[in-house]
Amino acid sequence: MGNIVERGPSFYATFDAAASLSTIGESVYISADNTVAVVNTNTNYAIGTVGQKSSGGEGSSVGINLFLPTRKAIAGGTVTAGGRVMQQASTAKFVDLAGTLTSVHASGIAITGAGTDGELFEFIPQIGVANAIVIA
């Protein structure tokens, strides 16, 4: 993969929070009540990351970075630049892809790496990342 020189600007939008969101870079999804909540399982589809904190609890405004074409996320351990990453089911942090592609799905491809738990890194989201056999 070549170097990405221009990634484009961040794009922020304001949402109502399901609860206080105080960790910059934490992944969020649209919950059933149309608020944004922290991704806490690998079945939630992240729409962005916290860019501006919310400390007012449920219904308070929070700034979300709607990350295209790349996004930043919190590593749950070592992340290798250029490799596929997955979101952990227990913490929703990201780590290098493990397991078979029939049971574990890629969340994207890492653009930068991370050396430790809690470190921010950048990746291209799953859009366009193949997880299955391509039939020509």
Which residues partner with 62 through β-bridges? 15
CA 75 from chain centre, in angstroms, equals 10
Q: Where are the domains of the chain?
A: 12-65, 71-125
Residue 100: partners with Cβ closer than 8 Å, 6 or more residues away? none
Label residue 2 by pLDDT band (50, 70, 90): very low
* Top-confidence range, 40-54, 84-98, 110-124: 110-124
Residue 103 Cα distances to 80, 98, 117, angstroms:
21, 10, 24
- Does residue 121 surpass a pLDDT of 80? yes
Label residue 87 by pLDDT band (50, 70, 90): confident
- Does residue 125 surpass a pLDDT of 90? no
- For the stretch 10-42, pLDDT in tens is 678 898 999 999 998 888 888 878 888 988 776
Residues 43 and 78: their CA atoms lie apart, in Å, by 22
Q: In the predicted model, what is the mean pLDDT of residues 81-92?
A: 82
